[in-house]
Amino acid sequence: MNISAVLLIIAVASVGQPQAIPIQDLSSLVGKQVTVQRMPLCRPGTYTYLLTYAGKQATVISLKSSNIAHLSEGTMSRLPPDTRAMLEDQQKAATILVKFDDGTQLDSCGPVAPSKLADYFELVPGQTLQSVAQAPTTDHATPAPVTPKADELSPDEVKLALNGKGRGHWVLIQDAGLMAAQGNQVPAITLYMPDAVLAIRAESAKKQFIQYAPSEEDERSSLMIVAQGYAGTTIAEGCTSITRIVLLSDPSGGLVQEAYLSEPLGETWRNGFGATNECQSLRAKFALADVRKIKTAAPNGEFIVAVFAGSVNTKMYKVKKKHQAKLGLE
């Protein structure tokens, strides 16, 4: 059976179910009693998933911000409304730590955005939140948090990259597992340094006889990672949708860094009879300053890229010295 793959890059909005806790400020949950839903929880500092507490009540004891960088208002204003709403939602995400009556403390395994809160917790009847009573327009009356300007490439670095310098600063790392090799698409990650992204996009624009003007985001000093999952040789075998990419200093998660920006890439697999499978690759970006922190904390400086499909860690790729040399990551 012949299978053709068509990669469609689309803007995907974050669409959730009606929210049982309609709030934007997750800090108002601290001290409140909640009922755990069917999403897994983790022991703090680990990726050990537990589903046995679903349906039980707990108290929210703390939040840990996702530290996702805020883009400038100018950049945000140029985004489509759905994309902007998705980014604003991610910027408000936090890892939620709860405590059960037996003394057990578990967290949400990673940052949870307000739009996804009801997938993890429901407010126990009788509990109230101040944010629920606020009118929708009050969001505009609250001043946006002031964040430092993100690190950017210098004008000289941008100019050199647009002229092709650094184009080779990218590397492909494939899953070398025996079963992965049996599929129609091998799981893999591709890492791009910022100068490579600028050089490749400038070259592509030149070939199309169009002018490439880098956006403020394009000029950020960041590492871009694109992850794709496994796809079987037949439609029936299915494919894996990637939903999260995270950097780790070591396999135990000694130091963890979330992406400041994630963009799903829609992918449709079709066979000769018209049957299709909808999958998702993921593009994520990490500030180079954060990448270097992970690299410094990693044994021998070789850090880990963990790739998730929902709550499942599908693969951990080691970024070895040889890969870093190819990237020019110093």
The answer to whether residue 290 sits within a structural domain is yes
Mean pLDDT of 77-96: 80
66 lies in the same domain as 160? no
Chain segment 152-170, per-residue pLDDT in tens: 899 999 999 999 999 999 9
Total-model pTM: 0.55
pLDDT at 317: 95
Residue 200 belongs to some domain of the structure: yes
* Residue where the block lists tokens 């410094």: 296
**Given pLDDT bands bounded at 50, 70 and 90, which one contains residue 134?**
very low
Provide the residue range defining the domain that includes 97: 26-141
- Examine the domain organization and report whether 187 and 306 are in the same domain: yes
Among candidate residues 116, 141, 166, the one where a domain is terminated: 141
CA distances, 296 to each of 151, 262, 292, 293 (Å): 19, 24, 6, 5
Q: Do residues 173 and 322 both lie within one domain? A: yes
What is the Cα–Cα distance from 310 to 330, expressed in whole angstroms?
Answer: 32
Q: Using alpha carbons only, what angle is made at residue 285 by residues 45 and 269, rounded to the nearest 5 degrees?
A: 100
> Is 94 a residue whose pLDDT tops 90?
no
Question: Could you read off the pLDDT of 5-15 as tens digits, one per residue?
Answer: 333 332 333 33
Task: Kindly state the percentage of the chain with pLDDT values over 90.
Answer: 38
Residues 237, 317 contacting (CB under 8 angstroms): no
SS (H, E, C) 118-132: HHHEEECCCCCCHHH
Domain contains 12? no
Average pLDDT estimate for 235-246? 78
Is residue 19 in some structural domain?
no
The two structure tokens encoding residue 211: 């002018």
pLDDT at position 5, please? Answer: 37
Cα 143–chain centre separation: 26
